[in-house]
Structure 1
Amino acid sequence: MPDPEGDDVISYLPSRPIPPIDSPDLPAVDIDIPNIDEDEDDELPPAYTPHRTGPASFEDDTDPSSTVHCTSPVAGKPLVQYALMLDAGSTGSRIHVYKLHNCASSPALEWEVFRQTRPGLSSYSGRPAEAAESLDELMDEALRVVPEQLRGCTPVAVKATAGLRLLGQAESAEILQAVEQRLRTRYPFQVVEDGVVIMEGKDEGVYAWITANYLLGTIGSSALPSHSTYAVLDLGGASTQIVFEPSFSTPDSALEEGDHKYTLHFSGRTHTLYQHSYLGYGLMQARRHVHNLVGFMWDFGKDGGRGLAELEEVGNPCLSKGTRRIVELEVDERTNVTMLGADVGSFEGCNRIVELVMAKDAICHVKPCAFNGVYQPSILDTFPKGGILVLSYFYDRITPLLPPLASEHTPRTLPIAAIADLATRVCAGPASWAENFAHLGEEVLDELAGRPEWCLDLTFQHALLRLGYEFGPKREIRTEKKVDDVELGWALGATIAMLDGDLECSI
């Protein structure tokens, strides 16, 4: 996913020395990371990826109204089921057209058609009718794909993200009402009850968990008992989410009640999930917090703080050595300063700053806590060996620095400690890039030069996993954008949840 802000303010430093970040001194950080290194003999779950058979796309499907997987469905279900999910994001709207079959107890995905359009619904402030009409291009694609005789039994839902909420309750409600009205009157599909809504953050994380575990074969009728479910960690720009299925070894221990608890009934099984969305701990917000903290300490070290001058040069260990970036700070007032990696950029120095931002020592009202005072069951005790899937900015920052996979079906895995190693090499600057990443191509080197904060990004991701969530350094993570050519994210999970409800057909 692309950065919400540009990274194009970059040049190499002049030869004159820049004062080190040690002036002023950084405060010592006394934070104990629990000793949660796994035993090397512990067997980690296999990186399992099921492969779908049959037609892989709409273009390959010679009979979109039938299926090659069986001739009769489970009782009470149609043989073939289509479903439409519209993602109304802040920058654009997208439609996912899914074809599934009901040959087993839970619907099985055959293929997906995806299309998007810009701008998003929130761009039509005060023009609800135009907002609704902007989705016609997407719905016309659904008409092209879904066979005519199956449209009356095809559910459709629209889930808007937080961008629409920024317009205010009244205005966003008008747009959603106009969208629902147009879908009901213009198209033959079935708008589900409460199907045109602004999605809550907790639902987004849980739906992403359903998508990932469904595609990886750990939930649903094809799930094998030997495969535990994956934890899913999604890192966006403004917030980060964690969802996993904890297990408790004693009858008197259980997941505390609260908004973090989510009970999912799917394919004859009940999954009790822990979920939390940390607003303010997305990657772009983490950058902002780190820069402001560095600016504050730099200013405070000069006569106790006199304010930062416009474009004043500030040493920042979270920028790669030999790079610079103009950054807007919010210390006393908004000021543009020139952040310099100079000779101070390093993983170790940046990690000291990031540890302060993580607020590991915040008051914990319900124990145990992860960070920022938020309750979370102990990973070591309740999720010691399950797989971990990291998405979005994790994928965007880690995968360009890894060697190509042996095949498209090879899972992309690495130990968490490898992120610290990547961060060390990235933070060390251009000479290190040439030594460690030149074999990946000029495009990677150019991208590193264009993103001085890649050092910060990787350091924050490592701290989030190790210090924040308390995963051990040897713990394997998996990062993907797609599984079996289906995009990971909340849309498929929301669709599966929608199909699990009572659907009405209009014939």
Structure 2
Amino acid sequence: MELQKHSSIMRLPKLASVLVFLACLAAYLMFVKHHYDGVRPTISKIPPHYFRPRLGWSYTSNRPTSSEVVSGRFQYGVMFDAGSTGTRIHVFQFQLEDNEAPKLAHETFRAIKPGLSAYADEPEKCKEGILELLNVAQSSIPPSYWSNTPLVLKATAGLRLLPGEKAKHLLDMVRELFEESPFLYRGDSVSIMDGTDEGISAWITVNFLIGGLHGSNTPTVGMLDLGGGSTQITYSPQDEKTIQTSPIDYITSFQMFNSTHTLYSHSYLGLGLMSARLAVLGGIEGQPLEGSSTELVSPCIAPDYTGQWEHAEVVYTVKGQKAGEPSYESCLKKVEKMLYNKVKKAGEAKDMEFYAFSYYYDRAVDLGVIDEKTGGNVKVSDYIDGAKRVCNEMTVTPESNRFLCLDLTYISVVLQELGFSKDKVFKLARTINDVETSWALGATFHYIESLHSQ
């Protein structure tokens, strides 16, 4: 009996040791589980293909929970605007709300000169500028978003006017750089933008910023853009007759934020301000034929002026005519002859509210009718009166103003050819709610919507 009791006493310490060991192991496992549950992986550690099928207006926040992966909070987009005079980058951050149009939370903007077309004969040299702008994108977007941020370059009139192979080589160089970047790149990410798409995208930008696309009672407005190589007019017709009588390629429909929009939109290639200058001066777009003159003489230039002007890789000698009949009438005849039968009147546009951009804005600043920073309103008659005054008072002016007579005369005529009266008022703005009023925002919306629908 004493022996059995002694054996029981000996077993108690062993059992206690086992229980203590198990308790310690359980505590350790609980600690490990608690520690690693509190550390969520960043997006960059999740395979990119996990998110790509969900791309569109549904995206993740910086440290996503499982519900946030589905519902989303932010979306970034990077748009390169490769224009005729420079390349600009727009980095957009969109805030996403359920059953609402996205809101623009932030934009980063940077511009460099010259445009891609300046490197037409040496495409390798465009790399430095593109890489500089890619660095802007990388520093503006959290790394966890890079693999799901669409990276897009749209080239406009500057590349449209280049011979096909030269434009292709430049775009191929950009594609190589984009493929090596950490952003979302697809086959259609780099392209030459159709002029009509440029007008539509600018229309989307303006109407998004004024609230016309948010399902409210805010009416949409028309858009006029005067670039270097082309000019666009875009508006939403209110009269069915406009849709029925307009050329079929001037009318387009698209969906945006669950609404269908029908637009009148046309781009006039070759009627941007720089191309129009050349035509009014008597030159021909593109490299002159061997043996042809690069000397251009015009009544739209100050009498006795002689200077150099480079356009589309050609250096021209520009001269004014000797003083004779009033310069404005002589210049007006040249402009009207160049524009004869090239522009269609835009029906009901004359009765609609319009915003005007780019060189419309710049020349109004030169006239002093709007403030350079805040913009303002301008009438067609302001351009006409300004052209008369500048042309008839021309002297040998500083380089920046030598084409002011020609430019103002051209703008005043093209607006009237589009069907606008002399007392028509346009709103001029470089920004709306501190956002650049270019086509880039609208094109980014359009591109992300296309990804979402695929």
Matched residue, 1:413: 377
Shift of 1:164: 4.4
Kindly indicate whether residue 130 of structure 2 is the aligned counterpart of residue 140 of structure 1.
Answer: no
C-alpha separation between the residues in 1 aligned to 2:355 and 2:96? Answer: 27
Distance 1:335 1:487 in 2: 33
Q: Does 1:457 align with 2:407?
A: yes
Do structure 1's residue 243 and structure 2's residue 231 form an aligned pair?
no
- For the pair 1:389 / 2:358, whether they are aligned, the reply is no
For each residue in 1:60-104, what CA deviation from the matched residue of structure 2 results, as whole angstroms up to 9, or x when unmatched? Answer: xxxx968xxxxxx99965211111112234555332111111126
Residues 354/473 of structure 1: CA separation in 2 closer, same or farther (3 Å cut) = same
How far the C-alpha of 1:143 sits from its partner, in A, is 1.8
Q: 1:74 & 1:260 partners in 2: Cα distance?
A: 42
The equivalent position to 1:324 in structure 2, one of 284, 291, 305, is: 305
5+ residue gaps, structure 1 = 1-63, 67-72, 294-308, 329-333, 360-370, 432-444
**2:149 match:** 154
**Please, which of 321, 339, 342 is the counterpart of residue 323 of structure 2?**
342
Q: Which of residues 269, 272, 291 is equivalent to 1:282?
A: 272
1:130-209 correspondence to structure 2 within 5 Å: 134-164=129-159, 169=164, 172-173=167-168, 175-177=170-172, 179-187=174-182, 189-192=183-186, 194-209=188-203
Q: Within the alignment, does 1:428 sit opposite 2:392 as a pair?
A: yes
Partner Cα separation in structure 2 for residue 65 and residue 415 of structure 1: 46
* Residue of structure 2 aligned with 1:229, choices 201, 220, 226: 220
Indicate how the Cα distance of structure 1 residues 344 and 480 shifts in structure 2: closer, same or farther if over 3 A, else same: farther
The answer as to 2:438 corresponding to 1:472 is no
Q: Give SS of 1:383's match.
A: helix
Give the deviation of 1:450 after TM superposition: 5.2
User: Letter of the aligned partner of 1:146 in structure 2?
Assistant: I
CA-CA distance at 1:224 after TM superposition:
3.8
CA shift, 1:477, in A, is 1.0
- Corresponding residue for 1:355? 336
Q: Distance in 2 between matches of 1:169 and 1:265?
A: 32
Q: Which amino acid aligns with 1:358?
A: L
Q: Give 3-state SS (helix, strand or coil) of 2:244's partner.
A: coil
TM-score (norm 2): 0.70
Q: Which of 353, 362, 365 is matched with 1:399 structurally?
A: 365
Distance 1:166 1:243, change over 3 A: closer
* 1:85 matched residue in structure 2: 79
Task: Note the alpha carbon deviations across 1:142-184, whole angstroms, 9 max, x for none.
Answer: 2211123332332111223354466654564455445435434
The alpha-carbon deviation at position 494 of structure 1 amounts to: 0.8
Q: Measure how far apart 1:355 and its partner are.
A: 2.2
- C-alpha displacement at 1:116, in angstroms? 3.6
Shift of residue 413, structure 1, vs aligned partner = 0.5
Q: Name the amino acid aligned to 1:238.
A: G
Which residue identity lines up with residue 357 of structure 1 in the other structure?
A: M
> Secondary structure of the residue that 1:342 maps to in structure 2?
coil
Residues 428-485 of structure 1 show CA distances to partners (whole Å, capped at 9, x for unaligned) of: 3169xxxxxxxxxxxxx975x852431221111111111x111122211122222233
Q: In structure 2, the residue corresponding to 1:259 is in which secondary structure?
A: helix
Aligned-pair CA distance for 1:319 = 3.8
> In structure 1, what is the Cα distance between the partners aligned to 2:383 and 2:161?
35
Whole-angstrom distance in 2 between the partners of 1:499 and 1:464:
34
Q: Tell me the equivalent position of 2:209.
A: 215
Specify which of 253, 259, 282 is matched with residue 269 of structure 1: 259
Q: Distance in 1 between matches of 2:249 and 2:272?
A: 20
Query: Distance in 2 between the 1:108 and 1:395 partners?
Result: 27
- Are 2:81 and 1:100 equivalent residues in the alignment? no
Structure with the higher fraction of residues in helix conformation? 2
- 2:270 and 2:207 map into 1 onto residues whose CA distance is 26
Alpha-carbon displacement from aligned partner over 1:328-350 (angstroms, at most 9, x marks no partner): 9xxxxx99674236353443443
Look up the SS of the partner of 2:262 in the other structure: strand
Q: What is the rounded CA distance, in whole Å, between the counterparts of 1:426 and 1:470 in structure 2?
A: 24
Task: Pick which of 492-501 and 189-198 moved more.
Answer: 189-198
CA distance in 1, matches of 2:121, 2:379: 50
Letter aligned with residue 367 of structure 2: L
In 2, the alpha carbon distance for the partners of 1:310 and 1:96 equals: 37
Q: 1:260–1:274: 8 Å Cα contact kept in structure 2?
A: yes
Is this contact kept in 2: 1:231–1:389, CA < 8 A?
Answer: yes
Task: Using the TM superposition, give the Cα deviation of residue 246 of structure 1 relative to its aligned residue in structure 2, in angstroms.
Answer: 1.8
Contact kept? 1:255, 1:261, Cα under 8 Å: no
CA distances 1:401-441 after superposition (whole Å, capped 9, x unpaired)? 22565x966x511222222122222223169xxxxxxxxxx
Question: What SS is found at the alignment partner of 1:351?
Answer: helix
RMSD in angstroms over aligned alpha carbons? Answer: 4.0
User: In 2, distance between residues paired with 1:134 and 1:168?
Assistant: 22
Gaps of 5+ in 2: 1-59, 284-292, 310-314
> In 1, distance between residues paired with 2:317 and 2:121?
34
Distance 1:338 1:399 in 2: 25
Residue deviations 1:280-315 (CA, integer Å, cap 9, x gap): 32223333333339xxxxxxxxxxxxxxx9989x78
Contact conserved, 1:324 with 1:341, CA < 8 A, in 2?
no
Task: Please tell me the residue identity of whatever aligns with 1:400.
Answer: D
Inter-partner Cα distance in structure 1 for 2:298 and 2:114: 39
For residues 337 and 143 of structure 1, do their structure 2 counterparts lie closer, same or farther at Cα, with a shift above 3 Å needed?
closer
From the superposition, tell whether residues 181 and 340 of structure 1 become closer, same or farther in structure 2 (CA, over 3 Å).
closer
1-side partners of 2:316 and 2:90: how far apart? 43
Moved more, 270-279 or 171-180: 171-180
Task: Name the aligned partner's letter for residue 389 of structure 1.
Answer: Y
Q: Give TM-score, length-normalised by structure 1.
A: 0.63
Q: For 1:105, what is the secondary structure of its paired residue?
A: coil
Cα distance in structure 2, aligned partners of 1:356 and 1:127 = 37
Relative distance call for 1:475 and 1:122 in structure 2 (3 A) is closer
- Residue of structure 2 in register with 1:435 after alignment: none
The answer to whether structure 1 residue 481 and structure 2 residue 445 are counterparts is: no
Q: Aligned pair in 2 of structure 1 residues 420, 167: CA closer, same or farther (>3 Å)?
A: closer
